[in-house]
Structure formats: C-alpha cells, structure tokens
Amino acid sequence: MERLSRFYPDPVLLFAVFLLFLIGFLNIVSVRVTPALLEGFDPEALKKPILFLTAFVLGSFLMSFMAFALNYRKLNNQRFIYGAVMLSVVLLVAVLVKKLILGKPIDRWLIGSSVQPSELSKIVLILFVAYYVSRKGYITKLRFLGWAVLVVLVHSVLLMLQPDKGMAIFVLVLSWALLWIGGVSPRVYAPVGVLFGITGFLILAFGGEYIQKRFSAWRDPFGDTFGSGYQVIQSLIAFMQGGFFGQGYGKGLQKLGPLTQADTDYALATLGEELGFPGVFFVMVLYVVVVWRLIRMAREVPDTFGRVIVAGVALNVALSVLVNVLMTVNLLPPKGTPLPFVSYGISNLTANLIGLGLAGAVYKRQIEVRTL
C-alpha cells in the first residue's frame, strides 16, 4: 500500500478502484474476445478492451497528477466555475444540434458513441454547487439560491431533450443532496426539493411513449417480450443461469447475443452469470470501500468547498451503482446508467477518474496541513 500512496493519497481507495477496473476489463474481454475466438479470431474484437485499457491508463495518470499537483482552492473562483458551467451547457447544446442535423430521435453522444457530455456535466455541477454554497455561506432565503437552482434546471432540461430523462432526474437528485451537505437551511432546502421533485415528475409524466415503454417493461417485462421488456428479461435470465457459483469466467451464454448490453449497462448481469453470487458480492464490497473512503475523506475536510466536492464524488458513485444494480434486477425502470469503473464507457470512466482526482487533491491538502 505504501507504493500505491505514491500514485494517490488514499492507497486503499486506489486499490479498490484498480480491482473494479480489472473486473470490468476482464468482463469486456469475456464479452468481446471470447466469442470471437470461437468463430475464428477477429482483431476488431480487441478494439473495446484496448480502448477501455487506454482510457484507464491515461485517466489514472490524470487522476494522480490532479491529486498531487492541483491546488483545489484555486478552483474556487468565479471565472473558472462559470467557465466550466458554460462549457458544460455548450457541449449539451451541441449534442442537441447534432441530433437535429442528423434527424435522430435519440442522441446522447457528441462524437461517435464514446464522448458523452452528460458525464462531464455531473462533475461540473458538483464543482458549481460546492462553489456556490461555499461562497454564499448559510443560505436562509430562497432568492439567494435562485441562480444555483436555475443552473441545475438548465442542465436537467438539456439532458431531457436528448432525451436522457434518467440522467436529467439524476442531476436533480445529486444537486439537491449536495445542497444539504453544503449546509443550506432547511427552509430553503425543502422548497428546492419540492421544485426539483415536481420537475422530475413532469419529466416522467410528459416523457411520451418512450417513458411509457420503460415503465411497462418495469411493471411487466413479459408483456412485451421482444420489445421494451427484452433487455430486462435477458438480464434476469443471466442471473438465473449463473446460479449461486456462476457458470465460470468466459462461459456465459447471454453475452453471445441475447444480452446486447452485456459489457455496458448490464455488465453486472454478465458478472452474475459467469461469477455468480461471490463475484457480484465482491464487486459490491469494492464499491462500499470506495464510497466509504470518500466519505471518510469528506469528513476530514474543514472547508465547505472541499467537503462538498469529495462528498459529491462519493454520492455520484453511490447513486450510479444503486441505480444500475436496481435496474439490472428490475427494481427500477430500465435506465442507461453504467456501473462505475466496470461498464464499458470512455466518458463515464474518464469522468469518474477526474472526480477521484479532485477528491484526491482535496484530501492531499488536508494531509499536508495535518503534518505541518
């Protein structure tokens, strides 16, 4: 662990993240490479594993650099924060422009199927809320929080228009929780929660046929076996086929075609089929370690800006894992939320590593203060 501390201030967290990535990487290899070997090797099968590995290596160097070289307090300034907010909004608008030009009903990516601005938006909103509540202090009047609420709602609406209604609601929940962590008065916190709740309800209520199909698949996936309920059914079948101990690494059948998102949104189902309960339980333990270490970091940070950043990174990981797990076992409507560090997704992986870099930068500063 001492050697790992040279790369990140919390070596336990780093080790847990590395194990999660390793499990995800092996899962992608199982999904992409193993079937190709059965049919005659195709070099194209190596594309996703190599991209995922490259993104992790580069992202890890960035995370380590941020943790040791970045003075996070310098981020607590109006020019940087609002510049980041404007960049986030511009990228989300660019996705909508691309969608209109190409005439696509759904488009969440800016470049190909790898660059997804919504992942960056979550990190930006964490920084923005941290900046806002740290500068405003103990907010007791709703009008003092109006600008922050507007920024969050703009992001939510832009995400809804992609449409990515699940992510639109996700950022509302994330931002609302951060206001509480930042120490906003209950007399302000509660009305904002009602406003965000109404916004989330309207997003779902007027989501059209797209949302109706998602909820239909959740209530009764067998009502549309080859339509909206297909992916959920295949996920449940994967868990059933895996049993308690699993079929063994590389021996899953659902990834061969039935489970079309076996290495992305439904990566956990593939792990359940091949590694069984022990494998899934181990992954959950690793997530508990990551979130616990981040919460432990946050509790040691005296200033509001740093504390909200670290807590926001922890909450982002925790909510993502919770939503993905519940979706995979059909306890939530289908929602494209990746499993952090495990599901294939360059944007999601990079954003999470940047988040850990920010958290590490905050924690490193506290270690230096304690040792003076």
10-residue mean pLDDT series, the chain (372 residues): 80 96 96 78 83 96 95 94 97 92 82 83 97 84 87 96 91 94 88 93 78 76 75 90 91 85 92 95 98 95 94 97 94 86 95 97 79 52
Buried b (16+ CB within 10 A) or exposed e, 162-181: bbbbbbbbbbbbbbbbbbeb
pLDDT given for residue 143 in this prediction: 80
What pLDDT sits at residue 59?
A: 96
Give the span between the Cα atoms of 322 and 208, in whole angstroms: 26
Q: Residue 235 contacts by C-beta under 8 Å, 6 or more apart in sequence?
A: 259, 266, 269, 328, 329, 330
Nearest Cα to Cα of residue 172 among 185, 184, 158: 158
Give, to the nearest 10 degrees, the angle between helix 165-181 and helix 186-205. Answer: 180
The predicted pLDDT at position 2 comes to: 65
Write down the pLDDT at residue 92: 95
